[in-house]
Amino acid sequence: MNIWSFLVKRLLLMVIVLFGVSCIVFFIAHVIPADPVGALVGGNAPPEVVDRMRAKLGYDQPIAIQFVRFITGAVRGDFGISIKTNNPVMEDIRNYFPATMELALVAIVISVFLGVVLGVLSAVHRNRLVDHFSRVFSILGVSMPVFWIGLLLILLFYYKLDWLPGGGRLDFFSYPPDRITGMYLLDSLLTGNWEAFKDAFLHILLPAFVLGYNSTASIARITRSSMLEVLKQDYIRTAKSKGLRRRLVIYRHGLRNALIPTVTIIGLVFGGLLEGAVLTETVFSWPGLGRYITAGLLSLDYPAVMGGTLYIAFIYSLANLIVDFLYAILDPRMRT
């Protein structure tokens, strides 16, 4: 089977799964009893107000019609109007998602860097102090609740030391750079707005570190074990016996070959990042999609929750698809 038919097959599967995902999202929002209209207008509202609101939101229709509406809308990227912000949900997502994406990308850079360095150190100094230290360090990262370490870092770096800002994407009084992608770091670079770049960079440091440190462990673990495997190979011994410097052997002959499994785990890590982003965004008042969904959940803003959740599931599936695709390119045995 060639790579294109593999891709088409995976895409078809993804469409089916996404349809099921929309069913789950719809089910969660409609079959389980909670009263969004009541939450919106308050418990003591006169019945006619409740009825009018219900009609306006389309909740007076039979459930089947609501479902068809939701699905046909979702296909066109129309998730209705958010009850809370009064904007089309898709427009809100377009505003909030780049923030999450920016955070996740910077975090993934941090966690890949930390993970690979720690993993290589662990493997090269196996069962020695360095190994123990880096294993404990990375396991500690995955054991700490992101919201807790986030709070403590804010306390230290913002309140006590006053080195870094305490939340948000920019200072209160600065203007965001002209919008191209919605990611402030990238936009300010593209427009040459150094002021904004510095500001955005300082703001993203803490949340991205918290998020990235959280996913370091799995990358370090994979790198360590694949590095151990590679260092046992014959060509490493050959390289060593040729008299090459140790460093050269480790980095050129070892690390390059050990990184293939690491590449494939990045997709998994990305999923974990989206999850951690919900909590990180809450702690750092980062205006991203996770916070949007959380706020929607707490105020029973159904369109926002359904749209946001579906969108996250879509991105998550897309990331998995890309990883599968990469894997298929790297390893032909996977194309079944």
Contact 82/92 with Cβ under 8 angstroms?
yes
143 binds another protein (CB under 8 A): yes
Of 200 and 231, which CB lies nearer to another protein in the complex structure?
231
What does the DSSP assignment read for 51-91?
A: HHHHHHHTTTS-HHHHHHHHHHHHHTT---B-TTT-SBHHH
Per-residue contact track with another protein, 274 to 303, x per CB under 8 A?
xxx-xx--x-------x--xx--xx-x---
161 contacts another protein (rule: CB under 8 A): no
How many Å apart are CA 250 and CA 244, to the nearest integer? 10
Residues 181-240 touching another protein, rule: CB under 8 A, are: 217, 221
- In this structure, the number of other CB atoms found within 10 A of the CB of residue 25 comes to 20
Number of Cβ within 10 Å of residue 136's Cβ equals 11
**Closer residue to another protein (CB): 34 or 330:** 34
d(CA 110, CA 173): 28
Encoded tokens for 225: 């074990």
Chosen residue from 132, 245, 246, 256 binding another protein by CB under 8 A: 132
**Residue number with CB closer to another protein (16 or 64):** 16
Q: Which residues pair with 81 in a beta bridge?
A: 88
Cβ of residue 242: shortest distance to another protein, in angstroms? 28
- Quick check: 264 binds another protein (CB under 8 A)? no
312 binds another protein (CB under 8 A): yes
Residue 320: name the closest of 5, 2, 14 by CA: 14
Quote the CA–CA distance of 260 and 43 in Å, as a whole number: 57
* Residue 141 to residue 144: CA distance in whole angstroms: 6
Cβ proximity to another protein: between 77 and 145 the closer is 145
d(CA 67, CA 83): 18
- C-beta closer to another protein: residue 169 or 291: 291
Q: Which of 11, 109, 136, 322 binds another protein (CB under 8 A)?
A: 136
Of the residues 272, 288, 303, 307, which one makes contact with another protein according to CB under 8 A: 272
Q: Which is nearer to another protein, 133 or 201 (CB)?
A: 133
3-state secondary structure of 126: coil
| Binds another protein (CB under 8 A): choice among 58, 60, 77, 148 | 148
| Footprint of another protein on 11-70 (CB under 8 A) | 13, 16-18, 20-21, 23-25, 28-29, 32, 34
Give the whole-angstrom CA distance, residue 138 versus residue 14: 33
155 binds another protein (CB under 8 A): yes
Structure tokens at 197: 């770049």
Chain residues binding another protein by CB under 8 A are 13, 16-18, 20-21, 23-25, 28-29, 32, 34, 132, 135-136, 139-140, 142-149, 151-152, 154-155, 159, 217, 221, 271-272, 274-276, 278-279, 282, 290, 293-294, 297-298, 300, 305, 309, 312-313, 316-317
